[in-house]
Chain A
Amino acid sequence: MSLIVKARNIVYEYIRRDDDGNVEGIETALDQVDLDVKEGDFVAILGANGSGKSTLAKHINALLKPENGTLLVDGKDTLDDNETLAIRQTAGMVFQNPDNQIIASVVEEDVGFGPENIGIPTDEIWTRVEKSLRSVGMYHYRHHSPNRLSGGQKQRVAIAGVMAMKPKCIILDEPTAMLDPVGRQEVLSAVRELNEKNGITVILITHYMEETVHANRIFVMESGKVIMQGTPREIFSRVEELKEHHLTVPQVTELAWELKKAGLSLPDGILTKEELITALCQLSSTN
């Protein structure tokens, strides 16, 4: 499997200036970040606000360019301006606020916006729009105004808008932060389906631990650095370390960890309630 994202030592700094343009302070948003994402993977990036995860996401879409180090997206260097459009097609991006990324006043026109920008012929745009709307279960709403949709539906339209560009990879920057639990569920299942059925690489940025349980790989960021990486099971068995970095684990994982601390012999890194129930039942029958 080839690498869709390959970041080596990337550095990015925000420079704050005062009213006269003098440098007031420098904040290092990304500090020597290495990141490998394989094609077809579902990767989650976790971290508190200000840990640099959004900055990293914008780099993969070439909205920001590294000041140091290299970032290859599907083999293309993001520093090469001639590749920018190709990179943005390959690695599409969904943002946090559903209202601020829908451009058109009708759902189908919004999904067609991306293909229009890259000069796809009219007939082909229609085929793509239909296909992408169906893939997120929003085809029925194609004539609706986005203003009348729920948050979860708006985010699915935004995902369809990215899908219409036929990307290999979708980056979602906290797509569920502003949604209610139902909307969150809608968006997550749509994303998981795209990953499983269409083989789209997913990079999900979030601070909800529950959303990362199904990922192949988790990266934890803090102060612009990747501080932990591994499979969900590996990451979630390090509960104490996560807590030190002010990240919470799913309730089930925390319960299992607490029980283990209290002397019950349970396996490490329990992720789902089914796993915990099975483990506890086994324990009770051996007692």
Chain B
Amino acid sequence: MLKDVTLGQYYPAESVIHRLDPRVKLAGTLLYLISLFVFQGPLALVMATVFLILLITLSKVPFSYMVKGLRTIIIILIITAAMNLFFTTGTVIVQFGIFKLTYEGIQMAILMMIRLVYLILGTSLMTLTTTPNQLTDGLEKGLRGLGKLGVPVHEIAMMMSIALRFIPILTEETDKIMKAQKARGADFETGGLIKRAKAMIPLLVPLFVSAFRRANDLAMAMEARCYHGGEGRTKMKPLRYTATDRNAYLLLFAYFAAMILLTLFWTKVLGGGKLFF
């Protein structure tokens, strides 16, 4: 069950997306997220869809694998949709008590669902094609300027990469402890909120103990391998932009420009509103 979390887990493959400099992917993800929420109209939406499909195809990560990752956020999706569905003011279609189902609400709910799904797919495409180490290298180098302001960029990057490495180990461990407590008659499924929260203690305490033990071991193992902070460290995989990275930046800007044009075309020329139908 917990092993289904594909969000954030690296998927090894040989693809042009995998080979891109992580800084390109970080910038690209950021730009894509902005584009999802700023631009308007069905044309821009189609463009965002096409762009996403193109990238997923290029990445060689199976589409079904990506969709599986969405399962973990399904509750968030439903809540968001429901909020938009019932709390958007506009032309009322049906009314149940204080809940009003509006025409605008339906539109908004669909739009938000699409945005959220694209947001998750877009960000997981980055984490699926970038090893945590590359990702943190990208962040470390991309944010190097902050280091001069006293922000411990290297330390933060190292912490993130270790956290990502231990997520699958700790989820597996959670599974194991849960089973062990079930074998002692634990019941995680029934009862009210308080009873369920109390039932979590036998799960959480061992999990914390184990996390601390692992952290201790790991710190010692790192020290034994001469880790002493970021000073004087070299890189096995230093970041250097290649021609592909430059082209990727160009493609990104082209996409962003196209989104601007399509939005302008929709609002100014076709006179469309904020929503898409």
Contact = CB atoms under 8 A, between A and B. Distances in A.
Interface of A: 58, 61, 63, 85, 88-89, 92-93, 95, 97, 99-106, 108-109, 112-122, 125-126, 129, 143-147, 161-162, 165
B246 interface: no
Candidate in A95, A109, A120 with the most chain B CB atoms within 10 angstroms = A109
B164 interface: yes
A61 B214 CA distance: 20
Contact of B226 (A112, A118, A122, A145): A118
Contacts of B234: 115-116, 119-122, 125
Contacts of B236: 108-109, 112, 115-116, 122, 125-126, 129
Contacts of B218: 100-101, 103
Contact of A100 (B132, B221, B237): B221
Interface of B: 10, 12, 131-133, 161-162, 164-165, 168-169, 213-214, 217-218, 220-228, 232-238
B131 A116 contact: no
B223 A63 contact: yes
B214 A119 contact: no
24 contacts: A58-B220, A85-B228, A95-B217, A97-B214, A99-B169, A99-B214, A100-B218, A100-B221, A101-B218, A103-B222, A104-B161, A105-B10, A105-B165, A106-B10, A106-B12, A112-B236, A112-B237, A113-B222, A113-B225, A114-B226, A118-B232, A122-B237, A145-B10, A147-B169
Contacts of A113: 222, 225, 227
Given A100-B221, A105-B10, A125-B234, A117 B227 contact: yes
B225 A114 contact: yes
A117 B226 contact: yes
Given A109-B131, A114-B225, A145-B10, A103 B162 contact: yes
Contacts, number: 106
The 10 closest A-B pairs by CB, nearest first: A112-B236, A100-B217, A101-B221, A117-B226, A114-B225, A93-B224, A125-B236, A119-B232, A105-B165, A105-B132
Contacts of B161: 103-105
Q: Specify the main secondary structure of chain B where it touches its partner.
A: helix
A115 B232 CA distance: 11
B40 to A, nearest CB: 39
B102 to A, nearest CB: 47
Contact of A116 (B10, B214, B223, B233): B233
A100 B162 CA distance: 11
Contacts of B227: 113, 117
A109 B237 contact: yes
B221 A106 contact: no
A161 B213 CA distance: 22
Nearest to B214: A100
Nearest to B166: A99
A101 B226 contact: no
A112 B232 CA distance: 15
Contacts of A106: 10, 12, 131, 133
Given A100-B221, A114-B226, 4 more contacts: A63-B224, A104-B132, A113-B222, A147-B168
Contacts of B131: 104-106, 109
Contacts of B238: 122
A88 B213 CA distance: 23
A58 to B, nearest CB: 8
A122 B235 CA distance: 6
Contacts of A115: 234, 236
A118 B214 CA distance: 24
A117 B228 contact: yes
A144 B233 contact: no
A92 B221 contact: no
Nearest to A144: B12
Contacts of B233: 116-117, 119
A203 to B, nearest CB: 13
A162 B223 contact: no
Given A105-B133, A106-B131, A116 B235 contact: yes
B225 A117 contact: yes
A231 to B, nearest CB: 29
Contacts of B162: 103
B223 to A, nearest CB: 6
A105 B135 CA distance: 11
A147 B221 CA distance: 17
B168 A101 contact: no
Contacts of A122: 234-238
B165 A103 contact: yes
A233 B240 CA distance: 57
Contacts of B12: 106, 143-145
A102 B238 CA distance: 20
A165 B220 contact: no
Given A105-B131, A109-B131, A116-B234, A95 B221 contact: yes
B219 to A, nearest CB: 10
Nearest to B238: A122
Contacts of B214: 97, 99-100
Contacts of B224: 61, 63, 88, 92-93, 95
